């Protein structure tokens, strides 16, 4: 049982480069989320999707975009990476359309370093 799969596990990239973090789930959950986790700041919601075809902005959406073409995939794109986007990124899913009250299932994270 894979659950949530994120790729890459880690990446170093130069500032100004475009980067897409991939997220795939095999649980058929309708809601998916992207969080970033920084020391001292905890988990912060970047973008979410309550169902395929819809997306919404979270707490820190600037500089990031997402798409939800189907139920399983929820990629996160940094159009032009900046050093402040250095972080650990977690993708998560839940099985409720009102996903904020459902249990979140997290991937193992993608560690991104922007130089």
Partner 1 sequence: KNQVEQSPQSLIILEGKNCTLQCNYTVSPFSNLRWYKQDTGRGPVSLTIMTFSENTKSNGRYTATLDADTKQSSLHITASQLSDSASYICVVSTAGNNRKLIWGLGTSLAVNP
In whole angstroms, give the CA distance from residue 36 to residue 92: 11
| In contact, 30 and 97? CB cutoff 8 Å | yes
Which residue's CB is nearer to partner 1, number 13 or number 45? Answer: 45
CB of 62 to partner 1, least distance (A): 18
3-state secondary structure 42-95: EEEEEEEECCCCCCEECCCCCCEEECCCCCCECCEEECCCCHHHCEEEEEEEEC
Which residue's CB is nearer to partner 1, number 15 or number 26? Answer: 26
CB of 101 to partner 1, least distance (A): 5
Dihedral over Cα of 6, 88, 16, 72: its sign: positive
Positions touching partner 1 (CB under 8 A) are 4, 40-45, 90, 92, 98, 100-101, 103-104, 106-109
Which residue's CB is nearer to partner 1, number 27 or number 106? Answer: 106
Which residue's CB is nearer to partner 1, number 73 or number 108? Answer: 108
CB of 58 to partner 1, least distance (A): 9
CB of 106 to partner 1, least distance (A): 3
């Amino acid at each position: 049982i894979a659950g949530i799969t994120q790729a890459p596990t880690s990446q170093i990239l130069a500032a100004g480069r475009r980067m897409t973090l991939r997220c795939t789930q095999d649980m058929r959950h309708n809601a998916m989320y992207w969080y970033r986790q920084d020391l001292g700041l905890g988990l912060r919601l970047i973008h979410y999707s309550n169902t395929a075809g819809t997306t919404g902005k979270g707490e820190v959406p600037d500089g990031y975009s997402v798409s939800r073409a189907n139920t399983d995939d929820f990629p996160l794109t940094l159009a032009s990476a900046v050093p402040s986007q250095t972080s650990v990124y977690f993708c998560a899913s839940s099985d409720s359309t009102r996903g904020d009250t459902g249990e979140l299932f997290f991937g193992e994270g993608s560690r991104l370093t922007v130089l």
